[in-house]
Chain A
């Protein structure tokens, strides 16, 4: 439902949704964001009129298109070296699955009763930013959850224009749901790519028999990603290579 911006005075300054043709783009949000970023999700829905589907993404906070993942980070998370390892592992995993990654660095909310803390820029903070820049990860800065929502909307519209939007419906039912689960278990395959496979191919057999270019086109994957998927589907299983020895079957 589209609520006119006038009805919510605190958000009145935000740009309205431009009148567009066709359905508005869809954004997938990770279920953890319901608790950590409720303002973002409700603002996306109410103010910007976007479809937000909450699903268990695991990898990133938001998926904006079939190739772009967005992570929302708090400024304080970048301040101390303690988080650095966790952050880099998270972003490495994203790099495996997505062509483009964007982080939104959001100013921490002042807790009630707290006078606004002065933001002390640390060397670590600059170091993380430099590393992100060097890695080709896009960085956006936001001062609050509402602004983060506006940025997500801008990104979604941009990707929509470039014809990389998420295919609908974002959450298939019945048999297709099982098929989606199968695709999602493939390593380095993003939720968006798995959805595309669901929508573009009639069956798993059709996917398995497809050539690399056909996979790239159908799932909107980059060439190396399509090659990886192709390799995976034709991977010759070798029991010896299983990481841990299997437990003895049965209890006898």
Chain B
């Protein structure tokens, strides 16, 4: 059954595909996250939230052939969920990695994360879950990469930019800005208007720039 639709994940829970019951990943997850098994998840291995799910590709899948590629493409076509692909990158499957990466990241536009074994996969899933939980609780400030930079007053930057005009240093930049107010008006000033602020030569330079 090719299902990859969204399902409702209770807050702070992970829904796992029945086929992982008793596996090393599941055992290590238990106790750390609230794991529920469900039948009929189809292509998906774990649902972390209503929007995010995980597809696990094992070393054996990689060696076995292209079946996993069909699975990924089917998922991509069938689902609007954000799919995170976790792949077992071992000494044996290492040679296939760059091919997988090209397909998953560059062609399908999904996320691909390599792990060395199922133990590492469970550690990674725990971290991913904690970020999903924070996202759902709208605590987005917790993510250091999403935090907005403090907006700086544009004054200093405008002053800097004007000083890139040949012949204009800090003093003249200040005078020009006090007179014309913005870069837009400075650009549209005539030579004679400029001459009232700076000398003839510089006025010409500013005008031609």
Contacts and interface: CB of A to CB of B under 8 A. Distances in A.
**Pair from one complex:** yes
B154 A130 contact: no
Contact of A158 (B106, B131, B144, B164): B106
6 contacts: A91-B145, A129-B127, A158-B106, A209-B188, A233-B182, A237-B159
Contacts of A96: 149
Given A121-B123, A209-B188, A234-B182, A134 B154 contact: no
A132 B145 contact: yes
Interface string A210-244: 00000000000000000000011111111101110
A187 interface: yes
Interface string A36-69: 0000000000000000000000000000000000
Contact of A235 (B111, B143, B154, B188): B154
Contacts of A231: 154
Given A92-B145, A187-B154, A242-B156, A235 B130 contact: no
Contacts of B73: none
A112 B164 CA distance: 47
Given A135-B143, A178-B164, A186-B157, A141 B188 contact: no
Q: List 10 A-B pairs, minimum CB-CB distance, nearest first.
A: A88-B144, A135-B145, A126-B127, A237-B177, A182-B164, A205-B187, A208-B187, A130-B127, A185-B161, A130-B131
Interface of A: 84-85, 87-88, 91-93, 95-96, 119, 121, 123, 126-127, 129-135, 137-141, 143, 147, 150-151, 154-155, 158, 175, 178-179, 181-182, 185-187, 204-205, 208-209, 231-239, 241-243, 246, 249
A208 B106 contact: no
B116 interface: yes
B181 A236 contact: yes
Contacts of B160: 185
Nearest to B189: A205
Contacts of A237: 155, 158-159, 177-178, 181-182
B37 interface: no
Interface in B89-113: 94, 97-98, 101-102, 105-106, 111-113
Contacts of B114: 141
Interface of B: 84, 94, 97-98, 101-102, 105-106, 111-116, 120, 123-124, 126-128, 130-132, 135, 143-149, 152-161, 163-166, 171, 174, 177-178, 181-184, 187-188, 209
A137 B145 contact: yes
A88 B183 contact: no
A126 B166 CA distance: 49
Interface of A is mostly: helix
B139 to A, nearest CB: 11
Given A234-B182, A235-B158, A237-B182, A126 B143 contact: no
Contacts of B105: 138-140
B184 to A, nearest CB: 4
Contacts of B97: 141
B130 to A, nearest CB: 7
